[in-house]
Amino acid sequence: PRNPEVRMGSLVSREQRDNVQAGIAKLETEAAILYDGSKQAMIDADPAIAACVAPTLLGARDAEQGALVHEHEVFGPVSTLLGYRDSAHAVSLAHRGLGSLVVSVFSDDHAWMAQAGYELAGSHGRVHMVSSDVGKTQTGHGNVMPASIHGGPGRAGGGEELGGLRALGFYHRRAALQGSSATLQQLAHAAKNWLV
């Protein structure tokens, strides 16, 4: 946005905007809107043509009974709060997402955070653990460091996009070459020249 007063930019298209609004309506069947940013006037944007959606925060009425709040992801500025009884219940709810790119855990109890990280790793591609000693320097929930994998199990794609050297796999073909030892020795000799 060109105007410094704008705090939330546009989505990529009206189609995405419509999808986000439909997703919010879908989530409203299991959650209540706690904050509706659309009540604020847009700055320097015509609502008739803009692809803008204001931040929306929902709260699940019953995190245990709901299914959509776990399985339907809205790709826009939308979050849903889920209440939980204890750590085990929170981990159980997180696993119901059927695979996620990242989960963030905040605590100064390092032993608890290590245990929670271990328990959450099975359904998340990355577990972002933040304590007060790294709070001001941590990279943020959505920022992938070059040596980290980005991709989660199941619904999150099962991939390892980005991720330093792993990412190069998208640009290389692997093949097994079989032959006599004389041929393979020639191949090994030639490979030395290829790597220069």
Nearest to 83 by CA among 103, 66, 108, 106: 66
What's the Rg (C-alpha) of the chain?
Answer: 23
Which tops the pLDDT comparison, 79 or 150? 79
pLDDT number for residue 162: 61
Q: Which of 60-74, 94-108, 144-158, 166-180 is predicted with the least confidence, judged by mean pLDDT?
A: 144-158
| Residues 74-107: tens digit of each pLDDT | 999 999 999 999 999 999 999 998 888 888 999 9
CATH of domain 1-83: 3.40.309.10
CA quadruple 178, 179, 180, 182: dihedral, nearest 10: -100
Instruction: Specify the pTM.
Output: 0.74
Instruction: For residues 110-130, give the mean pLDDT.
Output: 91
Q: How far apart are CA 120 and CA 126, in angstroms?
A: 9
pLDDT number for residue 60: 93
Q: How far apart are CA 147 and CA 165, in angstroms?
A: 7
Residue spans of the domains in the chain: they are 1-83
- Three-class SS of 151-196: CECHHHECCCECCHHHHHHHHCCCCCCCCCHHHHHHHHHHHHHHCC
Could you tell me the pLDDT band of residue 49, with boundaries at 50, 70 and 90? very high
> H or E stretch including 32?
strand 31-36
